[in-house]
Structure 1
């Protein structure tokens, strides 16, 4: 398969090149030049009969044509093996408080990012082995919380790679911070940036596309790549769990084959819900994709009005992984709506220079497959409490955003709804404990985790991996990120 940039003609690469490069040289994102044809009904039935690993091989093979069947089998086997605490990888609950919850947090860092970031390093390693690429890879990424640890864990000790993660100082949850600082591999580092996630992500993109920085890296036999969802190799593995959710609904006899299902998705950078859109394009019977945002509700307004406006207050909330005003993966959806790189480039330039853009009417009409809503911090806690009291089930704050949006959408559409549960509630003990008990934890971080386990039961075993030693936090101004990259790579 050939991949192309969302922003210009002629920027075409192979699957492996797209994964190794991460971003297109023109600043755009790589998308398939020709999207795979939808599965037939017969093919879908065959897929729904498969376990997760075989399902992943079948779906990824459509997009990863540079990889042999044997290589994909080895990659999938390594990505979805003993490091998961449930053989189903993404287990679906029975109906709880009106919805089904797709648990995406059974991997080593207890967040949905593991589904892709246990796969991406293996995809990248194989791509390097298949090519004549001799340079070392510098994984440069910004995180709003969970991507950092998942990337560091996924790439730890991988030959010829270095991982530099930037995160907003005091803008991630205490347990998320503890996780990142407890990753002690020689080839990974996390650095705090004085500013918010959008500022960190913007700087990362600027560093990626800085000719002088890229020339300096080339002089040292290095090149950049990305581990966040701007990398198509991070995005594609997420398509699989939408099919896995549908399969489990069939297994539960909650639906009949062909019945449409709604999916409610906690949404920040738009990668997770875009994977659902791709699943729908492949023929999965999706009803509506519910785009659930927190108080940083730029996407809610976008889907209701067709206008994207980042010129608004930025809020630090109790769902920190969604504290985002510039949703990078939305660019891929824009390209899908118009198939015109000139249009996408114009919209992105307007966003960068004016802080906003308005979709043309013909593009806006094509957003009908999405529905959007948002939740305030108080509403998030209220939803955690509601679900717990009605079912005894504990959800994290990000899942609560999607759960509340799903509850509201049911007033106009009562189809079966799957809520994507994107993180373990034990990663956010302060918020979850307060929501359930009405009391404030005595101390944040690990002491809060103990209070939550006393109330709600034992934490996942994977929590033990970051309960010990952690490194000292590095804090820098946002405008010093390029120099920090040089320092970490000994390029000065």
Structure 2
């Protein structure tokens, strides 16, 4: 299995090198040169498998011979036995043919655990093999940071620097990051928004000279292919639980950076019957504006009750654009360069091709609160604000009521008590026992200006071997 860049100029790499590279040298994102494809018969034969066994079948073609099969199986077993539900990704029924897939049963209560608990083990394996040390640099709008820290904090060969927008994540999200006090863990609160943090990460990967040639950066954001790879699995899990592959499913995905829903797009290309993918966004609706009207234009970023989706530059959207443009990296590079200067559109036939699978909706805070309240009153089931947006978008965009609709439940409601209160509910979602003392733990965090050189200087002087 070889991986190529969405900008077409970086050399093709194997899995190990892509794992460590994150961003391609030409500024693009890595994607597989070709995708594995599974027949209906093969997918059907996976019914009844444990989550880790299913994960092995779906992901092993991407890893290929980079990691021996037995080692990879053990890695997956260790990853998913740490989740709080034996099904790992259980389904909860809301209505006769409407479901929420709970992706928050991992240690940090968010869907990011599915990929980042595995990513830490992959990094440790490869870095130990190479006797190499790296610096992880990541940006988070709330959940990636804590999942990355939890997944990588025991790695012997990494230092972790996570950037989050100062005072723009929930208190639970912040404390999940800042109360982990390992010597190799550094939280940086940037006086800016998530897009500022993400831009710093991308620019740092493009020019790593601030590290003095002593180490290299590794990515934990969804620009890292391993993140996308791990997220493909739960689409297969949902399908097999609800009658697939002998029937199609539809999915609604709360998304800001487009990684989670791109994994669903890949699952379909790999042979899973998916009839519809709904892009569910908040007021920061660049993806909705593109999918509904073929106009890709950045607006001012707004702070919402769903902070993990307060994103205007959706990095993984580039991977879809690459496919829509016939995998022509030059066309993608030109389009994204023009998008930095103003609104852009793609050729109508390319846009209409995307609309065959994708629908979209943007839900404001009022609609988010209404959905949280409605679902609780009718089902006694509490949604976090992101999942609520997914449910609302699913109902607004659903094409066929006979097709099971699965909304990806991306986070535990206890991470967003302010949104639950804003919805007018007196119920207070409780943190699970392993986090019961979260608000009593010591915090450690460095607040820095929205300035790339300040952030890079901090990293250069604080990594272990500096």
1:120 corresponding residue in structure 2: 119
Correspondences of 1:28-177 after superposition (within 5 Å): 28-36=28-36, 38-65=37-64, 66-81=66-81, 83-96=82-95, 99-130=98-129, 133-177=130-174
2:222 corresponding residue in structure 1: 229
Correspondences of 1:358-377 after superposition (within 5 Å): 358-368=345-355, 369-377=357-365
Instruction: Return 469-478 or 390-399, whichever deviates more.
Output: 469-478
Q: What secondary structure, in the 3-state scheme, does the structure 2 residue paired with 1:357 have?
A: coil
CA distances 1:172-197 after superposition (whole Å, capped 9, x unpaired): 01111111111112211111001100
When residues 246 and 100 of structure 1 are mapped into structure 2, their CA distance, relative to the original with a 3 A threshold, is: same
TM-score (norm: length of structure 2): 0.95
| Structure 1: runs of 5+ lacking an equivalent | 251-255, 440-450
> Which residue, 316, 319, 344 being the options, matches 2:306?
319
2-structure distance, mates of 1:285, 1:152: 35
1-structure distance, mates of 2:297, 2:462: 35
| Structure 2: runs of 5+ lacking an equivalent | none
When residues 269 and 143 of structure 1 are mapped into structure 2, their CA distance, relative to the original with a 3 A threshold, is: same
Correspondences of 1:265-276 after superposition (within 5 Å): 265-276=253-264
Is contact 1:167-1:200 (8 Å) kept? yes
TM-score (norm: length of structure 1): 0.90
CA distances 1:10-60 after superposition (whole Å, capped 9, x unpaired): 521001110011111111111001122x21111010123311110000011
Is contact 1:7-1:27 (8 Å) kept? yes
Instruction: Return 358-367 or 298-307, whichever deviates more.
Output: 358-367
How far apart are 1:211 and its partner, in Å?
4.8
Is contact 1:5-1:30 (8 Å) kept? yes
CA distances 1:65-120 after superposition (whole Å, capped 9, x unpaired): 12211121111011111x21101110111234862000000010000000101101
1:445 corresponding residue in structure 2: none
Instruction: Return 465-474 or 403-412, whichever deviates more.
Output: 465-474
1:447 corresponding residue in structure 2: none
2:418 corresponding residue in structure 1: 430
Over the residues paired in the alignment, what is the CA RMSD in angstroms? 1.8
1:482 equivalenced with 2:456 (yes/no): yes
How far apart are 1:481 and its partner, in Å?
1.8
1-structure distance, mates of 2:372, 2:412: 13
Instruction: Return 410-419 or 474-483, whichever deviates more.
Output: 410-419
1:329 corresponding residue in structure 2: 316
The number of residue pairs the alignment matches comes to: 461
2-structure distance, mates of 1:97, 1:169: 42
2-structure distance, mates of 1:357, 1:70: 47
Is contact 1:97-1:390 (8 Å) kept? no
Instruction: Return 1-10 or 83-92, whichever deviates more.
Output: 1-10
CA distances 1:372-411 after superposition (whole Å, capped 9, x unpaired): 0010011100000011111111010000010000111237
